[in-house]
Amino acid sequence: MTDDAFSDGDREEPTVSCERCGREWNLDRELDDLDPGGHAVEQFALDHERHTGHYPDDVTPWTARCRRCPDGERFLAERPARRWAETHARHTRHPVRLEAPTGAEDLVSADGEVDGS
């Protein structure tokens, strides 16, 4: 895995900017009561999407969507999205479609098989 040489301040003061809104937020101040780790950014991004219908800059969601029932969730990283899909598939025997920020799609089925075609 390669890192996009872009991580020079993500531990101290998480800031989030949104080009569409033309704004920037310092999460340390805005969300004092939340974990100063990645969760604040994640929470903020989900919140922002809920209010405005779009995500802030540099935030690309993963979408897990069940193909059999209306269940579905959005995540900001592959791991929790895949975990949700696998858990749902295992519990319900439903195939879950996993949509990557890149537009790629995966199908997570109850057997733990992943059909990547």
The span from the CA of 85 to the CA of 67, in Å, is 11
Q: Checking phi first, is residue 33 left (phi over 0); if not, alpha (psi -120 to 50) or beta?
A: alpha
The span from the CA of 97 to the CA of 108, in Å, is 6
87 binds Zn ion (CB under 5 A): no
Q: What character string, x for contact with Zn ion (CB under 5 A) and - otherwise, covers 49-78?
A: ---x-------------x-xx-x-------
Kindly indicate which of the ranges 2-10, 21-29, 79-87, 106-114 contains the residues binding Zn ion, using the contact rule CB under 5 A: 21-29
Total of chain residues touching Zn ion, rule CB under 5 A: 10
Question: Per DSSP, what are the bridge partners of residue 114?
Answer: 108
Residues forming contacts to Zn ion in the complex (CB under 5 A) are 18, 20-21, 52, 66, 68-69, 71, 92, 94
